[in-house]
Copies of this chain bind each other. A is one copy, B any other.
Amino acid sequence: MLLAKVHVSLKPTVNDPQGLTIARALGRLGFDSVDSVRAGKYFEVKIEGNDRATAESEVKLMCEKLLANPVIETFIYELETI
Chain A residues in the interface with B (C-beta under 8 A):
1, 7-9, 19, 22, 25-26, 29, 31, 33-49, 54-55, 58, 61-62, 65-67
Contact = CB atoms under 8 A, between A and B. Distances in A.
A75 to B, nearest CB: 11
Given A9-B42, A9-B44, A42-B42, A67 B34 contact: no
How many copies of this chain are found per oligomer?
2
A44 B35 contact: no
B42 A40 contact: yes
A31 B29 CA distance: 43
B62 A33 contact: no
A41 B12 CA distance: 17
B62 A31 contact: yes
